[in-house]
Structure 1
Amino acid sequence: MAEGRGESDGMRIADPRVMRALAHPARIEIVEYLNDTGESVTATQVAGMVGLSPSATSYHLRELAKYGLVEQAPSRGDGRERLWRGKTHSLRIDPDFDEPGSLPATEALVDLYLHRDQARTREWLSRQAQEPAEWRDVSAIMGQRLLVTSEELRQINDKVRELVEPYQMRERQADPPAGARRVTVSYSAIPEV
């Protein structure tokens, strides 16, 4: 685990087998939904969200549980209904590159996340003219180049994490402020060659 990172950073994903298990669009959506909401749901409830059949969703949930990414939740009644829940509020991809297979597993998983984030951005761009001006005015796509040391970059990352933490969906969904919407914040801070 990297210095300065704690439990508030979520579950560390270092094992390439876990990364490969997660590297499926439906599985990423399932895990994020469960982690974001903290809800306990059935495979049928999740199926509608990810666009799969309940049996396919059930398979994905069992595979995710096998790798410790989700878990069975206590039953709400007679025990015939199988409920699932997330195990943390977020995931953190933090590979051990000494582990065989880490690099390709990391690249495959990160590639899925990047493609999904690009698709969300493109979707926003295609519909922004129909959005209220208040949301158009506050949306942002930023790219800035910095000249920093590794310690300064660590400080920037910590400040960004600290800035967004109070707005996590899981913590605010029970009593959201009027007019609140789900917003995706994608952040990358990567050294150039």
Structure 2
Amino acid sequence: MTQGSEGLSDPRAMRALAHPARLMILNRLAVEESATATEVAEIAGITPSAASYHLRMLAKYGFVEDAPPRGDGRERLWKAVDKRLSVGMEPDDQPEVRAAKVSLIAAFRREVNEEAERALAHVDQESAEWRDATLFGRYRIRVDAEELARLNREIEKLLEPYAARHRSEKVAPEGARIAEAQVNLFPIAPRAVPGLPTEDHDAPRPE
């Protein structure tokens, strides 16, 4: 991932971001207006000093920045930079850039999968209203590249008004909470055909 519409391309920035604690910190800051190192440390399961280090690294590569002080201003506050993160593979990527992209996408996918698994494990504890609104779906579609790109833009446009980074608790309706929309659009890659087995292991054995 690089920042902005052009996508992330600096391998140092991508390696800096591809850390579980930093991804959790960035997700927290994308939802909250601002937070201290101590506050993000709790959600990431690390010490405040470790959180301070990770925040400085995120700031170094432009992912977070200082936020306006609160109260007496003695605590340093951080906020996420208001830029959409994106990453994509390009045919002319240098090996170092491609490796950094693969590492970051893998870290991102692990976090996304863990989020969905936690939600699935917790779904029976939700109210009927939230259970009915929850969807774990998978769709096979038939499109060309232009249609897939257009679908991506349409989904982003649909989701944008609900983005937590722009929609504060004051604006959202009563009862609103943080939810997650996970979108994956990709062409199906060929799967190796394993062939027929030489032995049917599932067949019942003669007694």
What is the aligned length?
A: 184
Q: Does 1:169 align with 2:191?
A: no
Distance in 2, matches of 1:126 and 1:171, equals 29
Question: Any stretches of 5+ residues in structure 2 without a counterpart?
Answer: 190-207
| TM-aligned CA deviation for residue 60 of structure 1 | 0.4
| TM-aligned CA deviation for residue 153 of structure 1 | 0.6
The residue aligned with 2:176 is 180
8 Å contact from structure 1 (residues 41, 84) kept in 2: yes
Greater RCO (Cα-Cα under 8 Å, separation 6 or more): 1
| TM-aligned CA deviation for residue 58 of structure 1 | 0.4
Bigger helix fraction: 1
Residue type at the aligned position of 1:155: R
- Following superposition, which runs of at least 4 residues in structure 1 exceed 6 angstroms of deviation? none
Give the TM-score normalised by the residue count of structure 2: 0.80
8 Å contact from structure 2 (residues 30, 164) kept in 1: no
Matches within 5 A, 1:38-77: 39-76=33-70
Residue type at the aligned position of 2:9: A
Distance in 2, matches of 1:78 and 1:185, equals 37
Residue type at the aligned position of 1:152: E
The residue aligned with 2:145 is 150
The residue aligned with 2:16 is 21
| TM-aligned CA deviation for residue 127 of structure 1 | 2.0
| TM-aligned CA deviation for residue 80 of structure 1 | 4.5
Q: Which has the larger radius of gyration?
A: 2
Q: SS state of the match for residue 169, structure 1?
A: coil
Q: SS state of the match for residue 19, structure 1?
A: helix
Give the TM-score normalised by the residue count of structure 1: 0.85
| TM-aligned CA deviation for residue 41 of structure 1 | 2.4
| TM-aligned CA deviation for residue 79 of structure 1 | 5.9
Query: Cα RMSD over matched residues?
Result: 2.1
